[in-house]
């Protein structure tokens, strides 16, 4: 029982990270109906910026850890937001009226470009990050096995919950959120009633990139290493989480991320770790067979 509880904590932590990345996929798809396959690389860039910032602050002897984490998160979000805005302007906006495969190919090209640019600038070797947040809380102890939750896991889950609450309030209570929901329903009609469609789409890319940056910094702090290829693997899994939960649904993206994280944790604990990805994708296939729109997705309504 204790081992199961420990793996549940580990799975929820991993799922929270996947969910943050998946939100970027589902927001872009919900508004313009396209997949931003460069989103995983934005997550990777956020992780690298986090490592660089922590290194600089450490060399400068910056004291308070909590202030340093907030500063690193803010800087990483600003930089990756700029990347998200640039991706939308270069890879999507010029091709918005083209055939549907054109933006997809453009996004894949942008993904490859960013991945190789980081490899050239930072090198192919992994970049280590010394532990920033240390310590844990023991929850239970029985039969020589203790269940604990580390402070970094508490930080990841708390930040994810806070961001989800803030994002929900933004979408439901603000003018920008109303503009996003209008664009999601019909871009043409939204423009006719005065919504600035271009600005709303750019804001969506910027917001998704900022959330990916938070996930990147958290991954760097959690695992202690980053590399130029980490965005591809995490991006594929986050995209899987978005589809599993119902792409276009923000709660679905987070739910899908939590499911993928828990499946990976449980499979790694009780079966061969080499097949944890197979287990996650098998869950996706089963869900899509019986519920093609995902767990919380809504069927598309044809507009006439």
The predicted pLDDT at position 304 comes to 46
Q: Could you give phi then psi for residue 108, rounded to 5 degrees?
A: -65, -40
Look at residue 300 and tell me if it is in a domain.
no
Domain that holds residue 124: 2-290
Tokens of 261: 């994280």
Kindly state whether residue 274 falls inside one of the protein's structural domains: yes
Is there a domain that residue 198 lies in?
A: yes
How many CB atoms are closer than 10 A to CB 277? Answer: 17
Residue 55 lies in a domain: yes
Q: Determine, yes or no, domain membership for 297.
A: no
Asked if residue 283 is part of any domain, the answer here is yes
What single-letter DSSP state applies at residue 246? -
Q: pTM for the whole thing?
A: 0.89
Does the residue 169 lie in any domain?
Answer: yes
Per the structure, how many domains does the chain have?
Answer: 1
Q: Are 264 and 11 in contact (CB under 8 A)?
A: yes
74 within 8 A of 3, measured Cβ to Cβ: no
| Per-residue confidence in pLDDT tens, the chain, 304 aa | 788 888 999 999 999 999 999 988 888 887 777 788 889 999 999 999 999 999 998 877 777 888 999 999 999 999 999 999 998 888 888 887 777 788 888 888 999 999 999 999 998 899 998 888 888 888 887 777 788 899 999 999 999 999 988 988 888 888 888 888 888 888 888 888 888 988 998 998 999 999 999 999 999 999 999 999 999 888 888 888 888 888 878 888 899 999 999 999 998 888 888 888 888 888 888 888 888 888 887 665 554 4
User: How far is residue 89 CA from its own chain's centroid?
Assistant: 21
Rg of the Cα trace of the chain? 20
3-class SS letters over 162-205: HHHHHHHHHHHHCHHHHHHHHHHHCHHHHHHCCCCHHHHHHHHH
Which pLDDT score, from 0 to 100, does residue 300 have?
Answer: 58
Count other C-beta atoms under 10 Å from residue 42's C-beta.
32
Q: Assess if residue 299 is contained within a domain.
A: no
Give pLDDT tens digits for 161-186.
Answer: 999 889 888 888 888 888 888 888 88
- Mode of pairing for the β-strands spanning 136-142 and 127-128: unpaired
What CATH number should be reported for the domain holding residue 141? 1.10.3470
């Amino acid at each position: 029982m204790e081992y199961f509880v420990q793996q549940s904590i580990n799975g929820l932590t991993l799922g929270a990270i996947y969910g943050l990345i998946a939100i970027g996929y589902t927001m872009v798809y919900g508004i313009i109906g396209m997949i931003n396959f460069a989103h995983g690389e934005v997550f990777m860039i956020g992780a690298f910026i986090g490592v660089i910032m922590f290194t600089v602050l450490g060399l400068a002897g910056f004291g308070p850890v909590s202030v340093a984490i907030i500063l690193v998160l803010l800087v990483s979000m600003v930089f990756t937001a700029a990347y998200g805005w640039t991706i939308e302007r270069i890879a999507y906006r010029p091709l918005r009226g083209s055939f549907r495969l054109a933006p997809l190919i453009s996004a894949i090209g942008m993904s490859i470009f960013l991945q190789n640019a980081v490899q050239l600038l930072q090198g192919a070797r992994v970049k280590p990050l010394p532990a920033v947040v240390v310590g844990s809380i023991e929850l239970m102890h029985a039969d020589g096995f203790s269940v604990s939750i580390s402070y970094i896991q508490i930080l990841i889950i708390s930040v994810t919950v806070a961001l989800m609450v803030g994002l929900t309030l933004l979408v439901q209570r603000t003018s920008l959120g109303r503009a996003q929901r209008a664009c999601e329903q019909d871009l043409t009609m939204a423009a006719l009633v005065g919504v600035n469609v271009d600005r709303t789409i750019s804001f969506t890319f910027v917001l998704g990139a900022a959330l990916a940056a938070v996930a990147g910094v958290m991954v760097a702090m959690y695992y202690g290493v980053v590399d130029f290829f980490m965005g591809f693997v995490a991006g594929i899994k986050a995209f899987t989480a978005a589809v599993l939960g119902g792409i276009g649904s923000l709660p679905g993206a987070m739910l899908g991320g939590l499911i993928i994280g828990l499946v990976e944790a449980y499979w790694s604990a009780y079966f061969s770790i080499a097949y944890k990805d197979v287990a996650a994708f098998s869950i996706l296939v089963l869900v899509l067979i019986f519920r093609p729109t995902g767990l919380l997705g809504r069927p598309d309504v044809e507009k006439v």
